Amino acid sequence: MRALCIMPVYNQREQLPELLERCKKTMPADVFIIVDNGSTDGSAEIIDRSGFECIRLDKNYGIGYALKIGVEEALKRNCEIVVNIAGNGKMIPEQMHRVINPIKDGVADYVTGSRFLEGGDSPNLPLFRKISIPLVVNAIIWLLFFKKLTDATCGYRAFKTEIVNNPAVKWQEDWLWHYQFEYYLYAKALKLKYRCIEVPISMIYPAAKKNYSKIKPFVGWWEMLEPWIKVGVGLK
């Protein structure tokens, strides 16, 4: 099965050099594409020097828009698996096989990493996330889908393209251009009874606990919860 890895990037000049060098050394995906979401801090030049394929946007349309482009490229190139890794250096390239292999081995259709499973880790994870993910977000998913998850918000994921080919999955709608996209796909995969599993991964947060996320308080949090709620109650 051919896998395409998409890496959305927006102003990650500090993290990119080391991250891209590690991707060169370990990239289990057959195709690797960076989507530069309108970076203005010099990230574009770093990407160009890396030699990796890049799709450059004229402005930041949102992470969901970048991921949508990745899915479109996977379909064009006859790839059966899409995997995404963040461009901020928190996800470990050497662990990518953990989310891809269960699909290649035929035991899952949708795989997401978990920082909270045994074998996973999240050094310097902010206290707010450490509390809110298991006690609030995971609880909401259980109430809506009767599915017990350990880490509903982890962005290290891989899934079969057959999920987006399902007519019931409206993944190209404009409201998914921001953080909604990946959680909408996860929610639809659960709703449509695809085989969804979690695997242990590590996410490394900055020790200073500064600039660890581009998620805006309240607005960003709602964008992450919105698709779970709308799919769960049958609105989408």
The label of the residue with tokens 């490229």 reads 73
Lookup: tokens for 113: 């990493």
**Longest alpha-carbon distance in the chain:** 47
Identify the residue whose tokens are 């000049």: 13
pLDDT at 54 over 80: yes
Nearest to 148 by CA among 171, 174, 178, 114: 114
Contact 176, 183 (CB under 8 A): no
For residue 13, what are the domain limits?
A: 3-232
Q: Is the pLDDT of residue 212 over 70?
A: no
Measured in whole angstroms, the distance separating CA 32 from the mean position of its chain's CA atoms is: 14
> Which CATH number is 28's domain given?
3.90.550.10
Nearest to 198 by CA among 91, 117, 95: 117
Percent of residues, the chain, with pLDDT higher than 70 = 95
Q: Tell me the pLDDT tens digit for each residue of 18-32.
A: 999 999 999 999 999
Q: What is the pLDDT of residues 174-206, one digit of tens each?
A: 999 999 999 999 999 999 999 999 999 999 988
Q: Give the Å distances, CA to CA, from 128 to 135, 137, 143.
A: 11, 12, 21
Do 57 and 36 form a contact (C-beta atoms < 8 A)? yes
Task: In whole angstroms, give the CA distance from residue 197 to residue 202.
Answer: 16
pLDDT tens per residue across span 124-158 = 888 888 888 888 899 999 999 999 999 999 999 99
Q: What is the mean pLDDT of residues 206-229?
A: 75
By percentage, how much of the chain surpasses pLDDT 90? Answer: 85
- Reported pTM: 0.93
pLDDT in tens, 86-116: 999 999 999 999 999 999 999 999 999 999 9
User: By CB neighbour count within 10 A (0-12 exposed, 13-18 middle, 19+ buried), where does 117 fall?
Assistant: middle
- Name the domain count of the chain: 1
